[in-house]
Chains A and B, each alone.
Chain A
């Protein structure tokens, strides 16, 4: 008898894990196009820098570990692209490269590579560059400029910048943005995270392709919305507060792309619900008490740490009757 062996992550579907990565990469394309309509070719180049540096560093790591290069499974490209899509369009090219290299060299490969990482590599890369280079990361260009950004790093100094909704929320008080503008994505923010309506469409696409689990993203968004309504940071009513919190920063992007990572998310549906709720709680706590205007990546990493426990806890709750019955018999 022969056993079929396959590399992790082990999914129960017939399709291979690389198909899911292709889906995620396809989903990132409209976000890049949206950003390049506003800012020219620079956002696309930033995302490509992330992808290429992730692939190069993974290949080097595999050579160093004397392993067959594992770039072809696509997870590396997804990590690099996610880091690239979360930096500001104004950031220098080395910034997404630094994030992607940290994600692969310090987080993914030491744990054993694809399918074995305890923490989401893209979130960890973002955390590292948030801690080290927040000045570059949180400086966003004004989307109303109407001219493409210069492609060279040294020509960026004269660009008009604008404070993002996340920064305004962190300062408190009245905001400049109304819900219509937020839904259209006409506000300063990270490359891939401002196009709210496109992100919602992508969430539906990935849900149909089964790369996004409703059991994670719905509890996550619900928790964030409830907390935003109960403890608003923006003046102007709880609805505006909910819209501002959900659309600012990269909360929605993280819910679609980072939380649904099949490696770090729980497998069981009830565990996933708990995971979503916990992630939402951490995100809002990071926003209320955090040092940075956007701390979603830290919240995701914290939630990752609880993933296995929540999975087991969910399974335990669902099988409580059976477990108790077995104990009584014994």
Chain B
């Protein structure tokens, strides 16, 4: 048997739409990286204070996760496992350097000033490392890409909900637009508020899962 055939046998064929849908929903909700697997909490707790930050961090994560997953899915299993992590990290740093220059020059200097400490953190985020290293090496590019998109969306959903709630509570604004909220609590920007929100969201997701399982 040639090397190519071994690789094909190892990989589950997952081109069917139904299976791709399963992969997507598994990574997006049922095994949400933040709420179920508790990976990648750092940027949410530290920087998820305004909705703009949340969206920017989601884009950064997706910008790193998608190429990394594709890359590792194509040639990951030809590389020895010890070199995957450093190689991936190098790629992530290059991508994020580009992203930070883009944000700084083209989008908003203020946003860059808010994010500049967290962009490098995203590069070495355990979330991306774990995702790119685990799933995509043993799967076909299409499945790996679906999984990466779903993971980024799952991360994005959580960080956007958390950061929007924290922005409303602490600054009384949403996407920098003032909102008439009755209670203003500037302490919601502190890390403990994010941990509390994440805890309740994780509990809610578990409850949702049990309800759905009972129904089927």
Residues in chain A within 8 A of chain B (CB atoms): 106, 110, 131-132
Contacts and interface: CB of A to CB of B under 8 A. Distances in A.
Contacts of A106: 196, 200
Interface string B173-209: 0000000000001010010100010011001000000
A132 B185 contact: yes
B185 A110 contact: no
B32 to A, nearest CB: 18
A110 B187 contact: no
A158 to B, nearest CB: 26
A110 B190 contact: no
Nearest to A102: B196
A111 B192 CA distance: 17
Given A110-B200, A131-B190, A132-B185, 7 more contacts: A106-B196, A106-B200, A110-B199, A110-B203, A131-B187, A131-B192, A132-B187
Contacts of A110: 199-200, 203
A131 B193 CA distance: 11
Contacts of B190: 131
Nearest to B193: A131
Contacts of A131: 187, 190, 192
A201 to B, nearest CB: 36
A131 B185 CA distance: 10
Q: Which of B190, B196, B199, B203 has the most CB of A within 10 A?
A: B196
Nearest to A106: B196
Contacts of B187: 131-132
Closest 9 CB pairs of A and B: A132-B187, A131-B187, A106-B196, A132-B185, A110-B203, A131-B190, A131-B192, A110-B199, A110-B200
A110 B185 CA distance: 23
A110 B192 CA distance: 16
B17 to A, nearest CB: 39
A110 B196 CA distance: 11
7 contacts: A106-B200, A110-B199, A110-B200, A131-B190, A131-B192, A132-B185, A132-B187
Nearest to A107: B196
Nearest to A132: B187
B188 to A, nearest CB: 9
A106 B198 CA distance: 12
A110 B190 CA distance: 21
A132 B183 CA distance: 12
Nearest to B200: A110
A131 B187 CA distance: 7
Contacts of B199: 110
Contacts of B200: 106, 110
Contacts of B203: 110
A175 B117 CA distance: 43
B68 to A, nearest CB: 35
A131 B188 CA distance: 10
Nearest to A131: B187
Nearest to A134: B187
Nearest to B199: A110
A110 B197 CA distance: 12
B198 to A, nearest CB: 12
Q: Which of B187, B190, B203 has the most CB of A within 10 A?
A: B187
A110 to B, nearest CB: 6
A118 to B, nearest CB: 12
A110 B203 CA distance: 8
A282 to B, nearest CB: 17
B14 to A, nearest CB: 37
A171 B190 CA distance: 25
A106 B192 CA distance: 12
Contacts of B192: 131
B45 to A, nearest CB: 15
B168 to A, nearest CB: 16
B57 to A, nearest CB: 25
A200 B36 CA distance: 47
Nearest to A110: B203
A132 B190 CA distance: 10
A120 to B, nearest CB: 16
A199 to B, nearest CB: 29
Contacts of B185: 132
B155 to A, nearest CB: 23
A329 B196 CA distance: 48
A132 B200 CA distance: 19
Nearest to B196: A106
A110 B199 CA distance: 9
Interface string B26-37: 000000000000
Nearest to A127: B192
